[in-house]
Amino acid sequence: MLALSALCVGLIFGLGLLLGGMTDPAKVLGFLDLAGGWDPSLALVMGGAVSVGVLAFTFAKRRTQSLLGAPLHLPTARQVDRRLVLGSIAFGVGWGLAGFCPGPALVALGTGAPKAVVFVIAMLVGMRLFEILERGLK
């Protein structure tokens, strides 16, 4: 049941990314290019998502169990540390270079675009590298 709902949610999330324009790296770079002809569209994607999200999290804060009976734990980390800062810088550089962040890259992978396939493989290599740096080769 939880897997089925995750599958449907993944689909809906992906449809939202497609509709919003996030899956087109050219559009993302148009948003990140403040000094060129700026396309503010993606600020509206964020605005639309957060306005619904605020309601959901406000409701979820009072619960310890999801509607399907799964445990509901909200993140507890609060510290702004070196890992957060350096990681976010590296992510921002990669995002600015390619115009892809993880969600849209996975959606683009589904279209079979060869460049999206290469980006996703490289992203998985980066994530695997993190596991190796954190936990050693296993």
109-116 CB contacts, 8 Å cutoff, 24+ apart: 110/14
**Contact between 137 and another protein (CB under 8 A)?**
no
Query: Cα-flanking dihedrals φ and ψ of residue 136, to 5°?
Result: 80, 170
CB of 62 to another protein, least distance (A): 12
**Contact between 135 and another protein (CB under 8 A)?**
yes
CB of 75 to another protein, least distance (A): 6
The footprint of another protein on residues 19-58 (CB under 8 A) is: 19-27, 29-30, 32-42, 44-57
The footprint of another protein on residues 89-108 (CB under 8 A) is: 89-103, 105-108
Q: What is each CA distance from 116 to 24, 101, 109, 121, 138, in whole angstroms?
A: 11, 11, 5, 9, 28
